[in-house]
Amino acid sequence: MLPKEVSKKINNNATQLANLKPTFNFLKNITFRNVMDQLGQKLEIFESFGEGISQTDIQNWYLPRYKILLNIMSSKRRDNINLKPTFYIFRCFQLLLLSSYCFQLEKTYSFKKCISQTLLYSFIRKEMWQIYQETGQLDTFMEFHSKTIVNLINLRLQAAQQKTQEQDRLLETIDGIQEIFFLLESIVHVLISLRVEGKPNSHNGSGHQHFAKAYYQIYSRRKKMISNKYTNDIQKNIVKHSKERAKLTQFLWRISQWLLLIIDLIDWARFSTLFGNNDPLKTMMEKSRTFIQAAILTFDDKDLITHMRLMAWPFLG
């Protein structure tokens, strides 16, 4: 039974809650550690979780309650709540969302939009920024939500490998991955601008003359061409309203680390199996890596540089 304070926040539609019963029954028969392995072996069951549920209901009812549960489990006040049933019902919502976003997306709502506007940037701009301002803590939130994003991508790759009719979804998944690359690169560009703003006499704010380096030349050219879709929005909705630049910089730095982790956890071995001979895709992925690496080197943060160099990446090795 859910704690009363949790139940009050999510339990206001018996019909919608009833749609969670298949995921609830599925979780009863397996261990949490094996959930994704089990789903990969039983794609038909996994696909059925989201059947008959409209994207309107997903966006307006299930996703907001997923966020509520995620916030509860990430809160400093969670010690006063019985987390075991809360975590269980969270996993039910998580599986339902995964099924819907993996198999049931409508043609008018692309996977790229699902990743960029629904599951990633919207969370960063709203929930994660708010939590960080209030508590300075994001570890638990990042841990749970990153699993949703990574598992969604990996399950779509697995479904495409097992089902030849999934090729269209596979191409959409590539677009979604590229959007993660683009978001990460954009955030690092904002970090560079914040550092330059803090040290106006420095070319990149780090105190080093990077402008002669090859990576700085790549970054400089890219800066003139890159879409300002995310950089402008971050400036407008996060930077502009931040009074503590050090805290803002730390937040964006942590988000950059988090996005690198998400990229690292994508099943690149399966990805390479699916696209091993696709030279145009290989070139596109290599360009994305070059642009991200150039921005990170220009920002000159040792932790980000190390993470970037050690992480997995498609078509490397």
End-to-end CA distance of the chain: 49
Q: How many whole angstroms separate alpha carbon 141 and alpha carbon 207?
A: 34
Among 248, 214, 216, smallest CA distance to 234 is for 248
Per-domain residue ranges of the chain: 168-317
Q: pLDDT tens digits for the chain (317 residues)?
A: 566 667 777 777 888 989 999 998 888 877 656 666 676 677 888 889 988 898 899 999 999 999 999 988 887 655 566 677 888 889 999 999 999 998 887 666 788 888 888 999 999 999 999 999 988 889 999 999 999 999 999 988 888 887 765 677 788 899 999 999 999 999 999 999 998 775 544 444 444 556 668 999 999 999 999 999 999 999 999 999 888 999 999 999 999 999 999 999 999 998 988 887 788 898 999 999 999 999 999 999 999 999 999 998 887 75
Per-residue confidence (pLDDT) for residue 52, from 0 to 100: 87
Q: How many whole angstroms separate alpha carbon 58 and alpha carbon 61?
A: 6
Per-residue confidence (pLDDT) for residue 83, from 0 to 100: 76
- Between helices 63-74 and 83-103, what is the axis angle to 10°? 140
CB 304 within 8 A of CB 253: yes
Q: How many whole angstroms separate alpha carbon 194 and alpha carbon 34?
A: 43
180 CB-near residues (< 8 Å, 6+ apart): 115, 116, 120, 259, 262, 263
The tokens 């809360």 sit on which residue? 86
Q: Which two structure tokens, joined as six digits, stand for 299?
A: 């920002």
Q: Which two structure tokens, joined as six digits, stand for 19?
A: 């749609």
Q: What number of helices (H) and strands (E) belong to the chain? A: 19, 0
Per-residue confidence (pLDDT) for residue 103, from 0 to 100: 85
Helix runs in 164-244, H state only: 167-198, 214-225, 229-234
196 CB-near residues (< 8 Å, 6+ apart): 202, 203, 204, 205
